[in-house]
Copies of this chain bind each other. A is one copy, B any other.
Amino acid sequence: MVSKSEFESDFSSKRALANTVVVLSHTSHPGNIGAAARAMKTMGLTELRLVNPDVFPSDIATARASGADDLLEAAKTFPSLADAVADCVYVVGSSARGREFLGETMNVRSACATAVQQTAHGKAAIVFGCEMSGMTNAEVLLCQTLAYIPTNDDFSSLNLGAAVQVFAYELRMAAGLTEGYDATSLQPATQAEIENMYAHLETALVACDFYDPQRPRRLFARLRRLFGRTRLEREEVDIFRGICTAIVHHGRLPR
């Protein structure tokens, strides 16, 4: 059964993604529009807005979307960025350069956390300018926050699709959707089971003349250090005890 708080947290995660729009302004290459749609869909974003794209719709965009064509089909086109973000309560511009912007700047992680908070009140927009020159100065002035992806000073140019992927990923993480598959889950061993294993191990290592309790030389401290890090599972304890039994038995066979 899902608890109330889990339900609420699931609801607010979904609302955060549903209320975040990606705006691509003056995109030159239709392939990048497709790559952006694919990146968005992998992270659960659904609403793509386009400002004056050079070529759209386009088969190249559809091919690069690799199955995210529903986002392309639903994408609305606007004559200006002001129109595209008119209904949004928070507008973040993705920019590789700080420019003459006097406003707030922060990295993509902080900006996505802020955007997710603002989606409680309405739509948030993440804006990406054209591939070569980014947003125009007039577009930058429409943004409340400029956000950067930290990069190598000597090579800072991410592909547009890659930049959208990083923002979309950070939005999903900020919305609390940080989980994926789990490891095959086995039962952890109890402390008593582990202590019994150490006792059995001592018997076996004495039996095979590897260990002399009169001259311990920190062997068990080292073994405890190793096993302590591993968070032993019951099945693993059983394997080791089986090996210990075999060692003890082996020493009793006629040579």
Contact = CB atoms under 8 A, between A and B. Distances in A.
Given A66-B159, A67-B155, A162-B165, A109 B39 contact: no
A133 interface: no
A223 to B, nearest CB: 20
Interface string A144-185: 001011111001111101100110010011000111111110
B102 A183 contact: yes
A83 interface: no
A157 B64 CA distance: 12
B178 A38 contact: no
Interface stretch (A40-48, A118-126, A211-219, A246-254): A40-48
A102 B177 CA distance: 23
A117 interface: no
A183 B150 contact: no
Nearest to A148: B180
Nearest to A183: B105
Given A42-B158, A162-B162, A109 B184 contact: no
A102 B41 contact: no
Contact of A107 (B43, B179, B183): B179
Contact of A155 (B68, B100, B102): B68
A117 to B, nearest CB: 13
19 contacts: A35-B159, A38-B159, A42-B149, A42-B156, A42-B157, A43-B152, A44-B151, A67-B155, A67-B157, A98-B181, A98-B184, A146-B183, A150-B169, A150-B173, A150-B177, A151-B180, A161-B162, A162-B165, A169-B169
A195 interface: no
Question: Binding site of A, secondary structure by majority: helix, strand, loop or mixed?
Answer: loop
A220 interface: no
Interface of A: 35, 38-39, 41-44, 66-68, 97-98, 100-105, 107, 109, 146, 148-152, 155-159, 161-162, 165-166, 169, 172-173, 177-184, 186
A108 to B, nearest CB: 8
B109 A178 contact: yes
A173 B169 CA distance: 14
B150 A180 contact: yes
Contacts of A38: 158-159, 162
A12 to B, nearest CB: 16
Given A43-B152, A67-B155, A150-B172, 16 more contacts: A35-B159, A35-B162, A38-B158, A41-B152, A41-B155, A42-B156, A42-B158, A66-B159, A67-B157, A98-B184, A105-B180, A107-B180, A148-B181, A150-B177, A150-B178, A166-B166
